[in-house]
Amino acid sequence: MTEALLEVHDLVVEFPTRKGTLTAVDGISFAVHRGEVLGIVGESGAGKSMTGSAIIGLIEPPGHIAGGTVHLAGERIDNLSLDAMRRVRGKKIGVVFQDPLTSLNPLYTIAEQLVETIRTHLPLSERAARDRAIGLLDEVGIPAAARRIDDYPHQFSGGMRQRVVIALALAAEPELVIADEPTTALDVSVQAQIIDVLKRLCAEHGAAVMLITHDMGVIAETADRVAVMYAGRIAEIGPVRDVVKDAKHPYTDGLMGSIPTLTHAEDRLTQIPGSMPRLTAIPPGCAFNPRCPKVFERCRTERPNPQPVSDRQVACWLYDGEAHP
């Protein structure tokens, strides 16, 4: 395996509130290697987007990183000043958000936004930056890029706008692209196109991708490895094929069973009782224990940490040889 590009160690994100401190991300560790696509999957409130925001230093106050470290290419980036972080964002880490309409400024043309981004990070003349911008739009598959570059965002369709956002994210040749639900706002036929563009371009530009989504199908088709998050923690992380076909953690197992598939229709979907706990009421021990079909005594009191199980890491007492009855 190649050298780790992004290393997240024991990351904790907290939100102080009137009713006490909420822990949105609770001590998670993972690495993204050069050239790989790491999927982060989970249901709403699992902390997946918060993890992405923490890495790029965009957590809304009063939320803050309360512990742990983030290293990008060996350099620590979680404690940088706002100014230094701005230079990392865009230059070293490109970001694609869910809603392409809110990531683009409606009052500027696509050309102005791309050229500004390129010139902020790269020493290019106006003319050269514009040529580069047209080249990027061409690469993401916008027809007649040289003509359309002077259009405003509202003149593009949803799928085309998301292509522009991908071009923006790649504008300064970042080493890592964080894509947070990049296709959730799009129709399936367009979603497939966007995933295709994202995957192909990141491979061509040598950028690693952190793909955050709630859609296990997208992960299964796109990612090399996947981390399954539950209540601010990583339940299971490993190669995507293994996790999909043979889930170890009871939550992952339930999640996979609850997804209807195209190939065969079961009479009933597997059902996980209840729903994810709110941040104010995370149970002691393993956060999944009240919903878990295989729960035993230790799960209710002690919190399991991810431990190696064959080729992956699973945070579950079932896989702790001594503890399981």
Partner 1 sequence: MTQALVNVENLGRAFDVSKPWLNRVLEREERKFLIAVDDVSFEINKGETFALVGESGSGKSTIAKLIVGLIPPTAGKISFDGTELRLDSGSQMRQMRSRFQMIFQDPFASLNPRWRVGDIIAEPMRAFGLAKDSASAAKRVDELLETVGLTAADAAKYPHEFSGGQRQRVAIARALSAKPEFIVCDEPTSALDVSVQAQILNLMRDLQDEFGLTYLFISHDLSVVRHMATRIGVLYLGRLVEIAEAKALFTHPQHPYTRMLLDAVPDLEMTGRDHKPIEGEIPNPIDPPSGCAFHPRCAFANDRCRAETPVLKPVETGEAACFAVEEGRI
**Residues of the shown chain interacting with partner 1 in the complex, contacts defined by CB under 8 A:** 43-44, 157, 159-160, 187-193, 195-196, 214-218, 220-222, 240-241, 244, 254-263, 265-273, 275-276
Contact 170, 205 (CB under 8 A): yes
Instruction: Count other Cβ atoms within 10 Å, centred on residue 101.
Output: 16
Minimum gap (Å) between residue 7 Cβ and partner 1? 26
Q: Name which of 107, 195, 208, 210 is nearest 151 in CA terms.
A: 107
Nearest distance from C-beta of residue 84 to partner 1, angstroms: 37
Tell me which residue has tokens 């050269």: 128
- Closer CB to partner 1, 85 or 282, in the complex: 282
Min separation Cβ 281 and partner 1, Å: 12
CB atoms within 10 A of CB 212: 26
Alpha carbon separation from 237 to 183, 229, 314 (Å, rounded): 22, 9, 7
Per-residue tokens: 258:
């609850």
Give the residue carrying structure tokens 């000043």: 81
Minimum distance between the CB of residue 218 and partner 1, rounded to whole angstroms? 5
Nearer to partner 1, 115 or 272 (CB): 272
Contacting residues for 262 by C-beta, under 8 A, at least 6 apart: none
Q: Select 93 or 286, whichever has its Cβ closest to partner 1.
A: 286
The least CB distance from residue 179 to partner 1, in Å, is: 14
Cα separation of 165 and 142, whole Å? Answer: 12
Smallest separation, CB 161 to partner 1 (Å): 11
Least distance from C-beta 101 to partner 1, angstroms?
A: 14
Contact 257, 269 (CB under 8 A): yes
Q: Which is nearer to partner 1, 4 or 272 (CB)?
A: 272
Comparing CB distances to partner 1, the nearer of 67 and 239 is 239
CB of 287 to partner 1, least distance (A): 14
Two structure tokens written together for 105: 């400024």
Q: Which is nearer to partner 1, 125 or 263 (CB)?
A: 263
Q: How far is 303 from 25, CA to CA, in rounded Å?
A: 15
Q: In what order do the strands lie in the sheet with 208-213?
A: 93-96, 176-180, 208-213, 37-41, 225-230, 233-239, 312-314, 307-309
Asked if 236 and 315 touch (Cβ cutoff 8 Å), the reply is: yes
Q: Which CB, 117 or 289, lies closer to partner 1?
A: 289
CB nearer to partner 1: give 184 or 305. Answer: 184
From first CA to last CA, the distance across the chain in angstroms is: 36
